[in-house]
Amino acid sequence: MSFAGLSLGNTPPLQVPLRFFVTAPLFLFLAGVLLLTAGWWSVPGRWSPLWLALTHLWVVGFMLMVMLGALQQVIPVLLGSALPGARAVAFWGHLLLVAGTLSLVWGFLSEWKLCFVLAAALLPAAVLLVGGTACVALGRSPSRHASRLSLALALAALGFTLVIGSWLALGHGGLAVLARRYTDLHLGWGLLGWTVLLVSGVAWQVVPMFQITPRYPLVMMRWFGALHFLALSVWSVARWRLDAPWLQWVGAAWLSVSLALFAAITLRLQAKRRRRVADSTLDFWRLSMISLLLAVLSWWARRMGILLPAPLPAILFVTGFVGSAILGMLYKIVPFLVWLHLTNRAQASGVVPRGLPNMKQVIPNERSKRLFRLYTAWLPLSWAAPFRMEWLGPPAGLLLMAVALVLARHLHQAVRLYRRRRRGLERGNGSHAASFHSP
Amino acid sequence: MIKEFMEKDHQRCDRLFAEAESLVSESRWEEGESAFHEMREAIERHFSMEEKLFFPRFEAVSGMTMGPTQVMRQEHEQMRALFDDMEESLKAREADAYLGDSETLLIMMQQHNAKEEQVLYPMLDAHLAVEAERLIEEAGGIDR
């Protein structure tokens, strides 16, 4: 076993994950604005500028933004390996990601070709920078935990998603033939690959941690990532290379079983939790897993001929499964990081870290409950919107803007509290409640 | 083998943590207080096994004195500060303050345990293989 690169204490500077987290609500807000104006867009359907802009605001501006931020925190803490050049990588990665997302979205809305070319350069650069450094850290990690393989496969899937995405963007930009038949491949590897592998890889560790549940079965943690990746590969090859419908069904069935198994086992573990206190993160996670089951069911229902809008399974997946999981995680990670960085700072200056704001003082229960209620009110609207976009778009847009504003406010309050207390520590008065020097 | 022994102890501490938290959340103060003390006792004993026995032996054999074990000791201090805050809240019968600190302790403790179980304990096992059995026996006799 190699212990090179071992860094048990190296939690990255707070601004590394935080700059990604605090930017995400901005893109949620923009998505809300677009939904609000849904009725004004004349071209309906999957290829309309509105849909393309909306989906990318959500999956890149919100999902990828938070996920890349979290990845930079999770690898050092859960797998004991720091990302090289963490501060600079986060700064440039974030800047490139924000600029790339804005160009892409503006490209869809304005159909200005240059925007797509810019996005095809900026977004891969962002992911290459953050994802590449994450790969180096994973390679150096001394941990043999199943999370490591899941995260490595997730990054491979993200790379593949990005290659196809950039090619499609160049198609929109007029520099390549626009190969729309590969859009499902882009979508499949982004959602079922990168997203599922990342969420599951993190879940192996955080689900038992947060609620003191039994651990996931060892055999599941060991094989899930590889088998899921293989299922996605089978589905892709069957559909785009072999043109073999039967194999495509095998791939789709295998993927469905994999997703349903992950959701069902997570719910079962959570039902067996030892921790019985009310917790918004638990509520968000349950909502997330139930939505994942609904997404799988609705996909099969459509295949069986039940008349459901084509985008429904994907919407259930991104807003229900991923959106809920992300919000649940943010309301745990951000308060913990604020406390941890204040504590580390106090300790470094020789002060016993007492009386510092605990997690519930950084984001009180009422705030996380408020966001949960608001989000659960918005979710059904997001699922119903594709049935009647012109009616349901505006209320869905307004409510999403409210979700974004509340989230932004809670994160902002946490950052302000951190800054205030850090200044207090720097002035040398330790904490307000108790400040005495270590013996 | 040190890994398995210490992992089991982590799980015991987790159980005691959940018990104390749930009693306090129901305002069952007296039972909550005794459950808290039982948890604190168990975790302090766990820290002692590491700080008095496993870490010094590991440092002596590996020569790594300022590395991972030092970080773990610092985190123990952070958790001890939380215990003190929690004890004060218990005395003042302030459930919200206790639950906020206990939530913080849980996440701190869990990420601490993850690093130990995945990185540090395998290192202990690798460096202390020949004396592991004796050390575990000795650890069983440590009070706190």
**Domain boundary assignment for chain B:** 2-140
Question: Which residue type is seen at B36?
Answer: F
Strand partners, A81: A6
A212 contacts on B by Cβ (under 8 Å): 14-15, 17-18, 106
User: Is B62 an interface residue toward A (CB < 8 Å)?
Assistant: no
| Residue showing tokens 């995680």 | A329
Half-sphere exposure in the Cβ direction for B26 (13 Å, CA): 11
Each residue of B95-133: pLDDT tens digit? 999 999 999 999 999 989 988 998 899 989 999 888 888
Q: How many helical (H) and strand (E) elements, i.e. helices and strands, does chain A have? A: 16, 0
The domain defined by B2-140 folds into Four Helix Bundle (Hemerythrin (Met), subunit A) (1.20.120)
In total, the C-beta contacts within 8 angstroms joining chain A to chain B are 105
> Are B81 and A277 within 8 A, CB to CB?
no
Each residue of A385-401: pLDDT tens digit? 888 888 888 999 999 99
- Kindly report the average pLDDT of chain B as a whole number: 91
pLDDT of residue A330: 96
Each residue of B29-46: pLDDT tens digit? 999 999 999 999 999 999
| pLDDT for residue A437 is more than 60 | no
Q: In which band, very low, low, confident or very high, does the pLDDT at A7 lie, cut at 50, 70 and 90?
A: very low
> Are B103 and A358 within 8 A, CB to CB?
yes
* Domain residue ranges of chain A, discontinuous segments joined by +: 277-422
Round the CA-based radius of gyration of chain A to a whole number and report it: 22
Nearest-angstrom CA–CA distance, A24 and A326: 11
Nearest-angstrom CA–CA distance, B76 and B48: 10
| pLDDT for residue B141 is more than 90 | no
| Residue showing tokens 């003390």 | B37
Each residue of A327-367: pLDDT tens digit? 999 999 999 999 999 998 888 888 878 888 999 999 999 99
- For B66, other C-beta atoms within 10 Å of its C-beta total 8
User: Is A277 an interface residue toward B (CB < 8 Å)?
Assistant: yes
A338 contacts on B by Cβ (under 8 Å): none
> Are B25 and A3 within 8 A, CB to CB?
no
Question: How far apart are the CA of A363 and the nearest CA of chain B, in angstroms?
Answer: 10
User: Is B79 an interface residue toward A (CB < 8 Å)?
Assistant: no
Question: Which residue type is seen at A26?
Answer: L
| pLDDT for residue A18 is more than 70 | yes
pLDDT of residue A152: 96
> Are A275 and B22 within 8 A, CB to CB?
yes
> Are B22 and A361 within 8 A, CB to CB?
no
Nearest-angstrom CA–CA distance, A411 and A402: 14
Nearest-angstrom CA–CA distance, A95 and A89: 10
Which position has the higher pLDDT, A173 or A439?
A173
- Round to the nearest angstrom and report the end-to-end CA distance of chain A: 38
User: Is A336 an interface residue toward B (CB < 8 Å)?
Assistant: yes
> Are B118 and A80 within 8 A, CB to CB?
yes
User: Is B21 an interface residue toward A (CB < 8 Å)?
Assistant: yes
A residues 68..97 contacting B (CB < 8 A) = 77-80
**Are the C-beta atoms of residues B61 and B86 closer than 8 Å to each other?**
no
pLDDT of residue A243: 80
**Are the C-beta atoms of residues A58 and A397 closer than 8 Å to each other?**
no
B61 contacts on A by Cβ (under 8 Å): none
